[in-house]
Amino acid sequence: MEILNRRATWIHTHFVTDCVRLPSAQGREIEAALLPVLRQHHIVYGIRFAESRHDSGIRIVLECVPLRHVLDQIEAVLRRIVAPIPARPTPTRVSVADSDLVPADTAAPPTSPPAPGQ
């Protein structure tokens, strides 16, 4: 994953990434790795993840706008944290081990019992 852009709004800083989908476990890992850096700079606010219709990637939103030199340091650390995370998660393939299973749409229709007297 890469940080493509940094945008400051009135009270937030948005780091726009190229990540298409971020599993919640990886989001928690990013937050846990960045939290000590924020505390080191006496920032008590955290981060959250957001999507925007204006960008195709996920945004990492810092809940404040720190001083420029502090923000540059936070961005450098955040770039190192997200670098090993893939922008697109690996697809999951599901396979069935028991070959005796027949999908419901291909199963033979149920047969009705013979009528009495036949």
Question: What per-residue confidence (pLDDT) applies to 109?
Answer: 59
Question: What per-residue confidence (pLDDT) applies to 106?
Answer: 56
- Contact (Cβ atoms closer than 8 angstroms) between residue 47 and residue 30: yes
Question: What per-residue confidence (pLDDT) applies to 77?
Answer: 96
The answer to whether position 114 is within a domain reads no
* Interior/surface letters 43-65, b for 16+ CB within 10 angstroms, e for the rest: beeebebeeeeebebbbbbbebe
Lowest mean pLDDT among 22-31, 41-50, 54-63, 100-109: 100-109
Question: What per-residue confidence (pLDDT) applies to 53?
Answer: 82
The answer to whether position 118 is within a domain reads no
Lowest mean pLDDT among 33-42, 50-59, 81-90, 100-109: 100-109
Number of domains within the chain: 1
Is pLDDT above 60 for 104? no
The answer to whether position 67 is within a domain reads yes
Give the model confidence (pLDDT) of 43-61 as tens digits. Answer: 999 999 998 888 788 999 9
Q: Which runs of E-coded beta strand occur in 9-84?
A: 13-17, 47-51, 58-62
- Count of beta carbons in the 10 Å neighbourhood of residue 22: 21
What is each CA distance from 71 to 7, 48, 59, 78, 90, in whole angstroms? 11, 16, 16, 10, 31
Look up the domain containing 44 and give its range.
Answer: 3-82
The answer to whether position 44 is within a domain reads yes
115 backbone dihedrals φ, ψ, rounded to 5°: -70, 150
The answer to whether position 93 is within a domain reads no
Mean pLDDT for 31-42 is: 95
The answer to whether position 7 is within a domain reads yes
% of the chain residues with pLDDT over 90: 52
Question: What per-residue confidence (pLDDT) applies to 73?
Answer: 95
Question: What per-residue confidence (pLDDT) applies to 88?
Answer: 79
Tokens 């959250």 — which residue? 48
The answer to whether position 106 is within a domain reads no
Q: If residue 5 lies in a helix (H) or strand (E), which one and from where to where?
A: strand 3-8
The answer to whether position 34 is within a domain reads yes
Split at pLDDT 50, 70, 90, the class of 42 is very high
Question: Residue 56 sits in a domain of what CATH number?
Answer: 3.30.70
**In the structure encoding, which two tokens stand for residue 109, read together?**
């229709």
